[in-house]
């Protein structure tokens, strides 16, 4: 994942189970906005990464693919440094969409961002 957005932002997947994904991201120069705080877009990238990986884990990877369809986020606490952890849990596991709840927390378990992401599931074309 070195040459992907995950590598650029320093996202590390820590746990993948059916219906749950945990990943971390450092708050550093690549993930801060110009005023020195965690960039909301970086938080959203982490959230969508967790939802997409979680969906991929639940689909038939031989015949299906998945991609983000919609995401929203509420940034409830600022952060200047350290690590944020995203905990994603599946809320809806359908045949063509999955909906994920993703909570980003700091090292003290304070809520930094809450997000909901819908991921589309589609059949691969031959």
DSSP at 59: S
Q: What is the value of pTM for the model shown?
A: 0.96
Q: Is 12 a catalytic residue?
A: no
Query: Total domain count for the chain?
Result: 1
pLDDT digits (tens, 9 = 90+) for 19-51: 999 999 999 999 999 999 999 999 999 999 999
- SS3 percent helix, strand, coil of the chain, rounded to 5, is 20, 50, 30
Half-sphere exposure of 30 (CA within 13 A, CB side): 12
For 58-70, what is the mean pLDDT?
97
Domain enclosing residue 111, as ranges: 5-123
126 pLDDT band, cuts 50/70/90, is confident
Per annotation, catalytic residue among 2, 12, 15, 48: 48
| 89: pLDDT strictly greater than 90 | yes
pLDDT at 98 over 90: yes
CATH of the domain at 77: 3.10.129.10
Residue listed under structure tokens 């596991």: 93
């Amino acid at each position: 994942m070195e040459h992907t957005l995950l590598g650029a932002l320093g996202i590390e997947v820590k746990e993948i189970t059916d219906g749950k994904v945990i990943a971390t991201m450092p708050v550093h120069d690549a993930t801060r906005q110009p005023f020195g705080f965690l960039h909301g877009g970086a938080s959203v990238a982490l959230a969508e990464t967790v939802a997409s990986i979680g969906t991929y884990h639940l689909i038939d990877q031989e015949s299906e693919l998945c991609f983000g369809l919609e995401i929203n986020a509420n940034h409830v606490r600022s952060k200047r440094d350290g690590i944020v952890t995203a905990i994603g849990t599946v809320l809806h596991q359908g045949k063509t969409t999955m909906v994920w709840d993703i909570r980003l927390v700091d090292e003290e378990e304070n809520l930094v961002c809450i997000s909901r992401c819908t991921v589309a599931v589609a059949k691969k074309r031959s």
